[in-house]
């Protein structure tokens, strides 16, 4: 279900990173991030232990036409996964086939996941939608023009912060995700706003600062909050950083160079960016949190109240970006359509969700390029999977 790919920008690659580890058929930790293997009972997203039609054979023809190295797709309707497929190779020229259980870098599609963790903290009373940078970082000398920026503005990319940290800042970071965030945010909170506060300007840094706010107010590291408050109840298995690893046991990212040539990505996603998009998981695990968002939008109580979920899906007046979602109106969706795209480290992802018809589609590929070839390939795949273009 797709009309047009949203224009959420990709983060520029961080140089000098090394490849992380992975594990076949499950999520591997990378860049020092631990694997999450969450058990126990939780919200039933209609995903776990339910077979779906395998469309991998049909998807192969779509992959070839779209010019993608590897691709995976999943469609969920009315509470269940109706079909899923995987085609192509994990690494160009390797002959190692992509599998249904492979992990994919979510990139910026993970922002909705991070926003959900923020919403959980709000419902616990640990902070508010209007908690400000000046309140949380009172000891750190926040620039006066940033002091009144709220948590909600950061989630909506209206906090006046620069899009990314500099390569020099990131390359100098070490330690845990929390330590990296505390060090990195000092380079932006003391400076004047990079853009006008209150105006939309896409910022990965804003989500990093949001994660640091949660850490200071709620206590646990952001990665721990993700694991304990979201992944465990949803029975999600996710890892931090990129999924690729030695031996090709997961899809590797690829940069499209032009003329049909590719470069295998050896970058990784440093833990400082965990909240901005530094997660990988299978499409089925990703589907669990998207299903939760659809059900919450339709009025169901999930891990958060329906009212809180709808606030996550409500952009400010005149805008289309809420907390981790592009919020659009589409005739094929019978109204509301939630959308996001992500690109980093030689991977790209795309989600379209239509609460009114209880349907969403996830697509992922292990290639990236600045010219739009991969975007168009994901468009093609999503349309094939059941879109109603207009």
What is the domain partition of the chain in residue ranges? 53-239+251-384
DSSP 229: I
Which is more confidently placed, 310 or 44? 310
Rounded to whole angstroms, the Cα distance separating 99 from 85 reads: 8
Pick from 378, 373, 325: nearest CA to 353: 325
Give this prediction's pTM. 0.87
SS3 356: helix
Residue 68's contacts (CB-CB under 8 Å, 6 or more residues apart) are 88, 365, 367, 374, 377, 378, 381
pLDDT at 389 over 50: no
**What letter would DSSP give residue 60?**
H
Spatial distance between the Cα atoms of 69 and 93, rounded to a whole number of angstroms: 9
Rounded to the nearest integer, the mean pLDDT of the chain is 85
- What pLDDT, on the 0 to 100 scale, is given for residue 268? 76
pLDDT at 141: 83
CA 346 to chain centre: 14
| Residue 323: φ, ψ to 5° | -95, 85
pLDDT score for 379 = 79
pLDDT at 19 over 90: no
Q: How far apart are CA 74 and CA 30, in angstroms?
A: 25
CATH of domain 53-239+251-384: 3.40.710.10
pLDDT of residue 376: 82
* Res 163 pLDDT > 90: yes
The answer to whether the CB of 43 falls within 8 A of the CB of 301 is no
Distances (CA, A) of 42 to 51, 112, 195: 20, 19, 41
pLDDT in tens, 262-293: 899 887 778 999 999 999 999 999 999 999 99
């Amino acid at each position: 279900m797709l009309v047009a790919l949203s224009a959420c920008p990709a983060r520029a690659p961080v140089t000098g990173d090394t490849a992380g580890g992975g594990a076949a058929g499950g999520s591997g930790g990378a860049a020092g991030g631990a694997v999450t293997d969450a058990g126990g009972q939780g919200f039933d997203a209609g995903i776990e232990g339910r077979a779906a039609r395998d469309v991998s054979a049909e998807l192969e023809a779509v992959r070839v036409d779209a010019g993608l190295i590897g691709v995976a797709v999943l469609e969920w309707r009315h509470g269940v996964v109706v079909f899923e497929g995987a085609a192509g190779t994990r690494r160009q020229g390797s002959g190692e086939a992509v599998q249904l259980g492979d992990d994919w870098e979510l990139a910026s599609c993970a922002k909705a996941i991070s926003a959900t963790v923020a919403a959980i903290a709000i419902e616990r009373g640990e902070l508010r939608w209007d908690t400000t940078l000046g309140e949380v970082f009172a000891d750190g000398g926040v620039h006066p023009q940033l002091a009144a920026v709220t948590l909600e503005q950061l989630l909506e990319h209206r906090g006046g912060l620069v899009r990314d940290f500099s390569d020099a800042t990131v390359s100098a970071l070490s330690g845990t995700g929390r330590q990296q965030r505390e060090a990195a945010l000092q380079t932006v909170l003391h400076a004047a706003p990079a853009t006008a506060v209150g105006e939309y300007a896409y910022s990965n840094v804003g989500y990093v600062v949001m994660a640091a706010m949660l850490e200071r107010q709620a206590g646990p590291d952001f990665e721990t909050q993700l694991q304990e408050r979201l992944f465990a109840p949803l029975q999600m298995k996710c890892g931090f950083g990129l999924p690729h690893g030695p031996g090709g046991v997961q899809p590797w990212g690829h940069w499209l160079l032009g003329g049909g040539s590719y470069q295998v990505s050896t970058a990784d996603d440093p833990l400082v960016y965990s909240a901005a998009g530094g997660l990988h998981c299978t499409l089925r695990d990703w589907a669990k949190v998207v299903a939760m968002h659809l059900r919450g939008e339709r009025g169901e109580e999930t891990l958060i109240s329906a009212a809180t979920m709808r606030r996550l899906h409500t952009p400010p007046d005149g805008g289309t970006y809420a907390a981790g979602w592009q919020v659009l109106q589409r005739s094929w969706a019978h109204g509301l359509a939630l959308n996001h795209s992500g690109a980093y480290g030689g991977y790209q992802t795309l989600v379209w969700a239509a609460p009114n018809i209880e349907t969403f589609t996830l697509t992922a590929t292990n290639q990236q390029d600045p010219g739009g070839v991969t975007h168009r390939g994901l468009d093609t795949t999503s349309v094939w999977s059941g879109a109603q273009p207009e």
